[in-house]
A and B are shown apart, each in its own frame.
Chain A
Amino acid sequence: MRTARLLALGWLFHFRMLSQSAFDGFLAILWPLFFATVAFFMFRSGHSVGGLAPVALGAAVMGVWTATSVSASSPLQRERRLGTLELLVAAPSNLATMLLSVCLATSTIGLYCIVATLIWARLLFGIHVPVAHPVSFVLGIVGIVVTIGSLGFLMAVAFVRSRRAWALGAVSEYPIWLVCGFLVPITLLPGWVRPISWLLGPTWGMRAIRAGAFGGDALPDVAMCLVLAAIYIGGGVLLLDTVLDSARKRATLSLT
């Protein structure tokens, strides 16, 4: 009960803080629109077989991932810069819950990317994205936010130990777009890449959203999102104590 309360209040606190950053807000507005525009031009000139609606959805999720992966490092980097990371560690509450609330707040900000990209696609490129099963579509969005937030948490655990870990977030941005099939079906990728795709929650989240939009059963994909989210969280929690001990040993908590 206390964990749930801490998670909810922590999410609200960090969501409010992220929403009040003019700089982050500006980037959050521009990035998804930029990605979407590039993707639309690219696929339109290539005469995409399936139309541009799947591209619009892929571009929307690209924005969520970017907001979280690059930003998954930045919440922790921000905590370091503000000098609050040490205070979070020094608090008696469970650090994993605190970090998870930060990451979920960040991925929730990514929700904006979905809405903005779809509106952008409609107004500027005249792309209409059908929503065959609204409930499945919404569940797919929830699934992808949760799974991306949880993956961000797993990455954030690394950032607790080392300030240089932000590079991991930056490096993972574009490969995930490809490996999780945001724009290109993963069936087109080499066979050895597919197991990697299956281990990544965004792959299933993308499938769930597409199933909700174009018809199909989204529930198994949503379930996979949640299962993988649970694995990421479990892995992060298990790693956290070790990572934290290492940070206390190497004195990296106060580094900015």
Chain B
Amino acid sequence: MANGPVIEARDLRRTYKTTTGVLRRKPLEVEAVRGISFAVEQGELFGLLGPNGAGKTTTIKMLITLLLPTSGEARVLGHDVVADAREVRKRIGYVFGGDRGLYERLSALDNLRYFAELYGVSGKAQRSRIDEVLELVGLKGREQERVAGFSRGMRQRLHIARGILHDPEVVFLDEPTIGVDPVGARELRTMISGLIAAGKTVLLTTHYMFEADALCDRIAVIAKGQIVGEGTPEALKAGVAEGRVTEIEVFGVGEAVVERLRGLAGVTAVAVEDRDQKQLLVVQTTGERELTAPLLAELDGIKVGRVTSREPTLEDAYVALVGTE
């Protein structure tokens, strides 16, 4: 066991090079991760929270050695993810969300046997270890069935079983509950908590605030490739505890109006949620003064529905940090 953080990223950057256009191709550089630094301690469940495209998966893929960083440095259990990729791979488990990542034509047992072999689980230990993980993820008795017939939740449990087959010290979970129904997602969260109870260090990426709140010891909020907030869920909530949130139902609000609202003194964040024919403006304010009247004044000429005011939630803290539009 290495001294110091189990996972450490220092000024990690990743740029993708691509092209645009069909006939006249122009090179384009996209900065997916822009100087991320964080450290995860032994036995900690650390969450990378952010919207789609924030750079969470790119960050995790650099840490699990699937992508080379453009610059910066990252270590897992003291091993450099670029120079000692194989040493890192031996010690980590990687689970991602979604339907892919399994050999569907074969059974769950076949899949686990194959990956046990790839991860160097000895032939003698395979049977007992596979039984153990099947029990842990609640797939015992279903292992002979073809994966093609599995529900999304069952696949996800199989993913977790695959990821921990070789009893890794560190587990990377990339949006493991995405697309899973609420009951299945809750079961998965229980499983993830179980990993921490078993002494693993877990790095979890998610864009579900409540999931990060329920599971993580610490959270780094990531937006547009940068960490915009880091701390315990409580500390992040405390960051917006003083403010107020005004929710305004509107019909056909434009981007220019939203920008004007953002420019109002005392407004810290504005989010627009589409709801069928209407939109919901979620306006966060400092709470130092009543802003309902100025807000409505800016919406002059736009059909306005119900207006409510409430205390901020953790989700508001997240919205304030990522500045979601």
Q: Which of A2-30 contact B (CB under 8 A)?
A: 2, 5-6, 9-10, 13, 16-17, 20-21
B106 in contact with A13 (CB, 8 Å): yes
A248: min CB distance to chain B, Å: 5
B101 in contact with A91 (CB, 8 Å): no
A47 interface hit (Cβ, 8 Å): no
Give the distance in Å from the alpha carbon of A81 to the alpha carbon of B103 in the complex: 10
Give the distance in Å from the alpha carbon of A98 to the alpha carbon of B96 in the complex: 21
Tell me which residues across on chain A come within 8 A of B120, comparing CB atoms: 2, 92-93
A83 interface hit (Cβ, 8 Å): yes
Return the contact of B105 from the options A21, A87, A98 (Cβ within 8 A): A21
Give the distance in Å from the alpha carbon of A187 to the alpha carbon of B313 in the complex: 81
A92 in contact with B102 (CB, 8 Å): no
Q: Tell me whether A82 and B106 are in contact in the complex, defined as CB-CB below 8 angstroms, given that A87-B115, A91-B89 are known contacts.
A: no
A251 in contact with B67 (CB, 8 Å): yes
Q: Tell me whether A82 and B65 are in contact in the complex, defined as CB-CB below 8 angstroms, given that A9-B114, A10-B114, A93-B119 are known contacts.
A: no
Tell me which residues across on chain A come within 8 A of B64, comparing CB atoms: 90
Contact with A along B278-301 (1 / 0, CB 8 A): 000000000000000000000000
Return the contact of B118 from the options A20, A91, A249 (Cβ within 8 A): A91
Give the distance in Å from the alpha carbon of A248 to the alpha carbon of B106 in the complex: 29
B114: min CB distance to chain A, Å: 5
Give the distance in Å from the alpha carbon of A93 to the alpha carbon of B116 in the complex: 11
Contact with A along B113-147 (1 / 0, CB 8 A): 11101111001000000000000000000000000
B302 interface hit (Cβ, 8 Å): no
Give the distance in Å from the alpha carbon of A245 to the alpha carbon of B68 in the complex: 8
A196 interface hit (Cβ, 8 Å): no
B98 in contact with A83 (CB, 8 Å): yes
Q: Tell me whether A5 and B117 are in contact in the complex, defined as CB-CB below 8 angstroms, given that A86-B66, A91-B89 are known contacts.
A: yes
Tell me which residues across on chain A come within 8 A of B117, comparing CB atoms: 5-6, 9-10, 93
Q: Which of B98, B106, B114, B123 has the most CB of A within 10 A?
A: B114
B65 in contact with A16 (CB, 8 Å): no
A84 interface hit (Cβ, 8 Å): yes
Closest to B122 in A: A2
B115 in contact with A91 (CB, 8 Å): yes
A248 in contact with B114 (CB, 8 Å): no
Give the distance in Å from the alpha carbon of A5 to the alpha carbon of B19 in the complex: 43
Give the distance in Å from the alpha carbon of A245 to the alpha carbon of B61 in the complex: 14
Contact with A along B3-37 (1 / 0, CB 8 A): 00000000000001100000000000000000000
Return the contact of B86 from the options A10, A17, A88, A92 (Cβ within 8 A): A92
Closest to A2 in B: B120
Q: Please give the number of chain A residues whose Cβ is less than 8 angstroms from any Cβ of chain B in the complex.
A: 30
Closest to A21 in B: B105
A78: min CB distance to chain B, Å: 9
B68 in contact with A13 (CB, 8 Å): no
Q: Tell me whether A13 and B65 are in contact in the complex, defined as CB-CB below 8 angstroms, given that A84-B102, A93-B120 are known contacts.
A: no
Q: Which of B43-78 contact A (CB under 8 A)?
A: 61, 64-68
Contact with B along A239-256 (1 / 0, CB 8 A): 000000100111101100
B217 interface hit (Cβ, 8 Å): no
Tell me which residues across on chain B come within 8 A of A131, comparing CB atoms: none
B80 interface hit (Cβ, 8 Å): no
Closest to B95 in A: A87
B119 in contact with A16 (CB, 8 Å): no
B186 interface hit (Cβ, 8 Å): no
Q: Tell me whether A90 and B114 are in contact in the complex, defined as CB-CB below 8 angstroms, given that A83-B100, A248-B65, A251-B16 are known contacts.
A: no
Return the contact of A17 from the options B94, B98, B103, B162 (Cβ within 8 A): B103
B104 in contact with A87 (CB, 8 Å): no
Tell me which residues across on chain A come within 8 A of B114, comparing CB atoms: 9-10, 13
B115 in contact with A17 (CB, 8 Å): no
Tell me which residues across on chain B come within 8 A of A17, comparing CB atoms: 103, 105-106
Q: Which of A16, A87, A249 has the most CB of B within 10 A?
A: A87
Contact with B along A88-119 (1 / 0, CB 8 A): 11111100001000000000000000000000
Closest to B162 in A: A87
Tell me which residues across on chain A come within 8 A of B68, comparing CB atoms: 245, 248-249
Tell me which residues across on chain A come within 8 A of B90, comparing CB atoms: 92
A162: min CB distance to chain B, Å: 14
Give the distance in Å from the alpha carbon of A202 to the alpha carbon of B90 in the complex: 38
B110 interface hit (Cβ, 8 Å): yes
List 18 A-B pairs, Cβ < 8 Å. A2-B120, A5-B123, A9-B117, A13-B106, A13-B110, A13-B114, A17-B106, A82-B100, A82-B103, A83-B96, A84-B100, A86-B101, A87-B118, A91-B119, A92-B118, A92-B120, A93-B117, A248-B66
Query: Considering the complex of A and B, which 10 residue pairs feature the smallest CB-CB distances, nearest first?
Result: A83-B100, A91-B118, A92-B89, A83-B101, A92-B90, A248-B68, A20-B105, A93-B118, A249-B68, A13-B114
20 more A-B residue pairs beyond the given contacts A13-B110, A92-B89, A248-B66, with a C-beta to C-beta distance below 8 A: A13-B106, A13-B113, A17-B103, A17-B105, A17-B106, A20-B106, A82-B101, A84-B103, A88-B118, A89-B66, A91-B89, A91-B118, A92-B86, A92-B118, A93-B118, A93-B120, A98-B118, A248-B67, A250-B17, A251-B67
Q: Which residues of A contact B (CB under 8 A)?
A: 2, 5-6, 9-10, 13, 16-17, 20-21, 81-84, 86-93, 98, 245, 248-251, 253-254
